[in-house]
Structure 1
Amino acid sequence: MSQQEGQGQAGCALDWVGGKLLTVAPPGWAVMDLKVLFAADVEDFVFATVLGDGSLLPVEMPEEVRAPFVGLRHLLHEPGAGTWFSIRFTMTPPDHYRVDFNFDVDPVWDPPLDPAVLADDLLRWPRTPENTPRWALETMGVEPPALPDRVDYEEQANQVKRVTDQLRQVLPAGWGYVQVQFREIGHHAEVAALVQNAVGAVVQWNPPRAVAERFRELRTMTRRTEHGPWFSAKVELSGDGREKVSTNRTEEPTWVDPPSDEAYLVELGLPGSERAPDWLRARSVS
């Protein structure tokens, strides 16, 4: 089967899933959110229904929905690149849906996945070393290779996508807009996030550790760019797919918890410190 044929069959399967979910949609629903995680013979389906007032209503997912996702792992498998780890399927009235496939980032199992199960999954769906994610190696107790401190623009874009993909896999059900800020100096890092739900209410959100890890990887891999390292980043995502990512390389971030003096000294010893701004250089003599 060609890749195009596989994607066509996948589209038909997802259309069917959307139709099945609509059969259990309650009056006044605003969002139906389904997150599917697979690893070897272990699976997890997390289904949530959000009403127009922003509240969650317990609704049982149709059991028939499970079967197509087993086939989707086969349909979307690519030799050397493996298959997807998780899928986020989101529906809004009357019958619109968005699907975010995750082939690369941490699906964030809750409770955490047994490392042996992940190892089994990677045996069934083999990946070349360059296609094996760092989080997967770390989960299995394998030391990942050192990250480069300078990559080309294409790889920078790939890593930015990993950050946004990670967010889309773990955001709370019913989100419509999110703003996430990441700040780091030396070994001191902070993540702050605000989520707007379907009715416009804004709440604070505590992202899982995997989000900070994707930001850290991006920062490490861009330390020696022509503009030097950045110290904070802001990501804005919308449920309709819009994304905006910006970084700050000049101003000291506004910290929630001030870093220690040691954190500043560690930063000055990292690659790219020759481009350190004055406020950072001043810490070396303070």
Structure 2
Amino acid sequence: MAVSRFQRGHLSPPEQQEILTQIGMRILEEVPENWERITYSIQSVIDHSSAEVVVEFPDGTSRREPFPPEVLSLTDELRAGMYQEGKGTWFSMRYVISRPGKFNVDFDYDEDPGITFPTSRGFTMDLRYFPREEANIPDWLREKLREEADGRADQP
């Protein structure tokens, strides 16, 4: 993930909406036509992300599907562009598309995204690029920062 190549906090709400629409359109181009619901989930820090697209079908089954690399680039731009001074930016996004093509997106700015790689150093770098006021640093993130400060960042 190369979020640092994107400008921070530059996207207006209509521009954010446009990128979300582009993400959905690119995903829809890649999934089987008989989908019922599609969920794109991503957990991110500045230099790493973990993402998946899960397609649910009318018969109740579901499966992971590949998605185009442009989706990650668009998501990186969205994450950087949604940065808010003092608040930071989100760590996780859940994007759900339901028939006939409506979508709903949830952003999580506060919960641990569950990324185990990279180590704490990735969270430290993320906070440097997307600064947060002390009141907006969750306890789990403080612990990750302490791990690096104490030299425990590279330990399993």
The TM-score by the shorter chain falls in which range?
Answer: 0.7 to 0.9
Question: How far off its partner does 1:31 sit?
Answer: 1.4
User: CA–CA distance in 2 between the matches of 1:105 and 1:58?
Assistant: 24
Question: How far off its partner does 1:76 sit?
Answer: 0.9
Picking from 17, 25, 30, the partner of 2:31 is: 25
Q: Quick one: which amino acid aligns to residue 130 of structure 1?
A: A
- Compare CA radii of gyration and give the structure with the larger one: 1
What's the counterpart of residue 59 of structure 1? 65
Question: How far off its partner does 1:139 sit?
Answer: 2.6
- Pair 1:12-2:34 in alignment: no
User: CA–CA distance in 2 between the matches of 1:13 and 1:124?
Assistant: 21
Q: TM-score, normalised by structure 2?
A: 0.80
Aligned residues: 139
User: CA–CA distance in 2 between the matches of 1:93 and 1:42?
Assistant: 31
What's the counterpart of residue 117 of structure 1? 122
* 1:77-96 alignment, distance < 5 Å: 77-96=83-102
Moved over 6 A (4+): none
What's the counterpart of residue 202 of structure 1? none
Alpha carbons 2:91, 2:113 under 8 Å: kept: yes
Alpha carbons 1:37, 1:107 under 8 Å: kept: yes
For structure 1, the 5+ residue unaligned runs are 143-286
Question: How far off its partner does 1:74 sit?
Answer: 2.3
Q: SS in structure 2 opposite 1:121?
A: helix
Picking from 69, 73, 77, the partner of 1:71 is: 77
What's the counterpart of residue 141 of structure 1? 146
- Pair 1:106-2:120 in alignment: no
What's the counterpart of residue 213 of structure 1? none
Deviations 1:200-252 (A, max 9, x none): xxxxxxxxxxxxxxxxxxxxxxxxxxxxxxxxxxxxxxxxxxxxxxxxxxxxx
Picking from 51, 54, 62, the partner of 1:48 is: 54
For structure 2, the 5+ residue unaligned runs are 1-8, 148-156
Q: TM-score, normalised by structure 1?
A: 0.45
- Pair 1:38-2:51 in alignment: no
Alpha carbons 2:41, 2:95 under 8 Å: kept: yes
* 1:1-286 alignment, distance < 5 Å: 6-109=12-115, 111=116, 113-141=118-146
What's the counterpart of residue 281 of structure 1? none
User: CA–CA distance in 1 between the matches of 2:79 and 2:34?
Assistant: 33
User: CA–CA distance in 2 between the matches of 1:5 and 1:140?
Assistant: 28
Question: How far off its partner does 1:113 sit?
Answer: 4.6
Alpha carbons 1:22, 1:95 under 8 Å: kept: no
Deviations 1:171-209 (A, max 9, x none): xxxxxxxxxxxxxxxxxxxxxxxxxxxxxxxxxxxxxxx
Question: How far off its partner does 1:128 sit?
Answer: 0.9
Question: How far off its partner does 1:17 sit?
Answer: 0.9
What is the aligned-residue RMSD (CA, Å)?
1.9
User: CA–CA distance in 2 between the matches of 1:5 and 1:47?
Assistant: 25
Alpha carbons 1:13, 1:68 under 8 Å: kept: yes
